[in-house]
Structure 1
């Protein structure tokens, strides 16, 4: 069952993106995660270009900002365990880099970047709340590639005491963004985020936008069901007429594996 806007937790990427559109909130969260000081953040001008580029693969950036040094920060909320998360990180990095420089331009124009995934699952099942990745030489791990690209995976299911109290409170809040949860927090990070969450949920225009997107998603799901039924009928018809799996795959423009799955 679909939730209303007021029932959403911060783990929902729609709510997360709306809350993080507040530059001060976004800056505070980045500072806590990276343990650095940032003077200011602003939306990247190429945001719409990136949206279009990534939506072609069914992906849209949640948070895409840069600081006073032109360092790029991309923060994404991820729900449901995805085995392909490392490849998704790679795709995001490549797409952002392509958007930062035009063909033929000097690679030195590539900005330092951080891609941060906030997950409601532990991808590696090691109990950590934070996993940080940089390119290191396998033969000599004292040698860093220094490509200035860093990827961080945070998760709310960690069991180690490996982060600051404020970040641990934040990760717990991600899946339970209620007034009751905030009563027990001590740090300011979650309190500030919760104030913004309440503002977003009380904004009528945001609620209209959310309902519109929800309806659009329902329509796409229904269209997908109808297309699936038609495809199944076509595959069965071709199979009954004596076509081979290879012929059916070519005729339906799908893989042979998909044909076998439908026939089974």
Structure 2
């Protein structure tokens, strides 16, 4: 949808200008220790088929250890990671902009509100992931217990005893009802 105004009906995708979506991340989303990940559109069954729309998604990981990036980008990563040492003009300009925000009580409050919302979202995402992992673990245990011939009542009692207050009996019953062999 980003390019909808840039192409007319009947035009080829190749007539589009390249577009970039860049994510600045203070963590490694792919767990490969790379500083930069570049993605382009390809066909799922045959990744060698690339849809050349000029759309580029770039994930920049400030905690990455491998890969070549410019000194300016490394300075930006250093600032993202809380280091004030800057050795180039770009990093210095960003540092000055950050200092300006800190000097304005209104902007600093807006920034802190933004940071708090980001942290809340991150925590909600972590909690959601942990709950999904718990459900998956419960499903796996239920399947294994069923394969061993345990009755539904024995399975539920075993899981309630094992998980105690961490997972309610009601939640265990719901996962058991939803889990197919």
Indicate conservation of the 8 Å contact 2:16/2:53, yes or no.
no
Query: What is the total number of aligned residue pairs between the two structures?
Result: 118
Alignment of 1:145-224 (within 5 A): 145-176=51-82, 181-182=83-84, 184-207=85-108, 209-210=110-111, 213=113
Q: CA deviation at 1:206?
A: 1.8
Does 2:38 match 1:132? yes
The answer for unaligned runs of 5 or more in structure 2 is 121-169, 176-181
Distance 1:107 1:170, change over 3 A: farther
CA 1:128–1:165: 2 relative to 1, 3 Å: same
Q: Greater relative contact order (Cα 8 A, min sep 6): structure 1 or 2? A: 1
Structure 1 unaligned regions, length at least 5: 1-93, 221-258
The alpha-carbon deviation at position 261 of structure 1 amounts to 7.0
After the TM superposition, list the runs of 4 or more consecutive aligned residues in structure 1 that deviate by more than 6 angstroms: 261-264
TM-score by length of 1: 0.36
Contact residue 135 and residue 144 of structure 1 kept, 8 A: yes
Structure with max Cα Rg: 2
Task: Please give the root-mean-square deviation of Cα atoms over the aligned residues, in Å.
Answer: 3.8
In the alignment, the residues of structure 1 paired with residue 37 and residue 10 of structure 2 have an alpha-carbon distance, to the nearest angstrom, of 27
What TM-score, normalized to structure 2? 0.50
Aligned residue for 1:168, secondary structure, equals helix
